Structure 1
Amino acid sequence: MVELIPTRRVVVEWTVLGTVLTLVASFIFSGVYAAGTGQTDVGFQISDFESALVEVTGVIVLIVAVLGLHETVHAGVIRHFGGDVSIGVGIAQFVLPYAYVTTTQRLKRNQFIVVALAPLVVITVLGVPLMIMLDAAILILPLALNVGGAIGDLWMAGILLRYPTHVVVEDSVTGVTIYGRPDDELAATSESGLLRRAIIGTAGGFGLLLLVGLSAPILVGALGVDAVTIGLPGSPWSIYTFEGSAGEFDMNLNYVGLVGASVLIGCLFSIGAHFLRG
């Protein structure tokens, strides 16, 4: 039996990584929106106080709705597996406010992972096409917050994937208890590894993208092309734009896209290393 209760350090990591994931998801969804609708302006047009109030209220309502849908999906999947459901709110280690859905029924490892990841997958898969079909840039932030808010679910799923499939998991408001066989080898957990690897990966991604930017003029000249864009043109994910003609060369750098892409590389590196580590 192993009891996993997030410590204060882990909760601080969740807060940092959740914020980073929200920013990265915002960049990604902005790029998808631009590619899907052909619109490069994903901001709000605010001309007076009343319109600002309407826009802000609309975003808040959508965020609350997505939060409610997130917990509803958790509850629906738990009921699908035959469990009872309790819903509430709390503050993890007096740091991170959260809503929760829990059950008294023990679930198999894979069932618990499905419960944990279902809201992230379902809301993203349904919400992104809806955002494009309705031409609703206002959905970008709520969808991004759903991704960032799933950091605890992703953390738990990553830990459980390192346990044998036969273990069962008992949920509680503050953590989980994992039950296995006496001869099971228990997986060690790292409280600071995710954040450390994310920072290292982000720094490495930033350096790699800068190297690409420095090398691109040589490659563009060697290939004999007039213009090259690295990233998604006309979106927050447009990182570099190179244009050359008659011996002249211009380069435009989008710092927002550069930072966003670096953070994305860092997160992917951290998550990949977490899952692949033996």
Structure 2
Amino acid sequence: MSAEESAGSLHTLETFRVTRTVAAQWVVVSTIGFFAFGYLFAGVRAWLRGRPLEPIVLPISAHPTTLEFLGGFGLLVALVIALHEAIHGLAMSAFGREPTYGFGLSHVIVPYAYADSDGGYTRDQMLAVLLAPVIGISALGVLVMSAYPSPVLVVALAANAAGSIGDLWMASILVRFPEGVRVGPLPDRAPDGRGMGIYGSSASQGRVTARSRLASAFLVGAVGTLVLLVVGMVGTVLLSLALGTGTVVVGDPDGRWFLFAHEISRETRQVRLRIGVEVILAAMSLGGALWTVTVGGVELLRS
């Protein structure tokens, strides 16, 4: 999109900037997302193998060494990032753009890789660019997993999905707008400004309905609840490891209200992990509903 377009017949409807706060939120949600997506793809792998996922059994100590593990994990993540950005670039090329690639450091918080291009996109084109890697790699990975159910694929798919949090975040903003809007660089074109501008007619602004805003609020509340639950579970386990046996069971494993169990066997040197998915989903729904009511109430008071 040219500067003339954004400043002329099209109005700036909304801007999204990757501020320090947003970057920190992405780091937190991506970290939690890695484990959540890992559980999801591990479940797919177990289903493809015709075996139950739980209990998840992990060795307390295993070979290769920690250094070798971290090196292998880093190499795997690097390959996933390269493929992820290449798919972004292919999607840009499909819409007649010339992608450029590079690396950056977001507010001295976390390094990132990127694919970028000049020019603007329609809403649907930008959604395709944003979602192509997470959909494409996930679909391809599950297809490969059906023939070669390696746990390495679970890690790779989880890393890709967790690394797509920023893409999903921006896509959730875009879907609130009608398909006729245009997406381009930020209007001030700051040299270090990461983000996007959404441009359209005044009529387009009016079509951003209260329903879409409340749907976004529900999603924020649900994801926020998941983050709090995971942080609480990990914190409880770490506290138990520091002060006790490391075994933590929250709820009745054989009942309806079961959150999670982290059990350590010193004899077999194994950790057995079970997750109460139903309770977590119910809590996320409740958190989303409460946040939606809160946001709706604030908007009502402002009107």
Q: Compute the TM-score of the two structures, normalised by the length of structure 2.
A: 0.64
1:70 equivalenced with 2:84 (yes/no)? yes
Q: Secondary structure at the match of 1:99?
A: strand
Q: Secondary structure at the match of 1:185?
A: helix
Q: Deviations over 1:226-269 (max 9, x none)?
A: xxxx9xxxxxx998xxxxxxxxxxxxxx7541279727963997
Q: Secondary structure at the match of 1:184?
A: helix
Shift of 1:118: 0.6
Whether the aligned pair in 1 keeps the contact of 2:225 and 2:283 (CA below 8 Å) is no
- Counterparts of 1:27-38 in structure 2 under 5 Å? 27-38=39-50
1:23, 1:102 → 2: CA distance? 28
Q: Evaluate the alpha carbon distance shift between residue 117 and residue 142 of structure 1 in structure 2; reply closer, same or farther with a 3 A threshold.
A: same
Shift of 1:46: 4.2
Q: Secondary structure at the match of 2:30?
A: helix
Identity %: 28
1:257 equivalenced with 2:275 (yes/no)? yes
Aligned to 2:96: 82
Structure 2: runs of 5 or more not aligned: 1-11, 187-192, 233-249, 262-271
Whether the aligned pair in 1 keeps the contact of 2:99 and 2:117 (CA below 8 Å) is yes
Structure 1: runs of 5 or more not aligned: 217-229, 231-236, 240-253
1:12, 1:55 → 2: CA distance? 26
Aligned to 2:265: none
Whether the aligned pair in 1 keeps the contact of 2:123 and 2:181 (CA below 8 Å) is yes
Whether the aligned pair in 2 keeps the contact of 1:73 and 1:118 (CA below 8 Å) is yes
Aligned to 2:16: 4
Aligned to 2:3: none
- Counterparts of 1:45-194 in structure 2 under 5 Å? 46-47=62-63, 49=65, 56-171=70-185, 174-185=194-205
Q: Secondary structure at the match of 1:152?
A: helix
Shift of 1:201: 6.0
Q: Compute the TM-score of the two structures, normalised by the length of structure 1.
A: 0.69
Q: Evaluate the alpha carbon distance shift between residue 79 and residue 38 of structure 1 in structure 2; reply closer, same or farther with a 3 A threshold.
A: same
Q: Evaluate the alpha carbon distance shift between residue 181 and residue 26 of structure 1 in structure 2; reply closer, same or farther with a 3 A threshold.
A: same
Q: Evaluate the alpha carbon distance shift between residue 157 and residue 11 of structure 1 in structure 2; reply closer, same or farther with a 3 A threshold.
A: same
Code of the aligned partner of 1:125: A
Q: How many residues align?
A: 237
2:25, 2:153 → 1: CA distance? 26
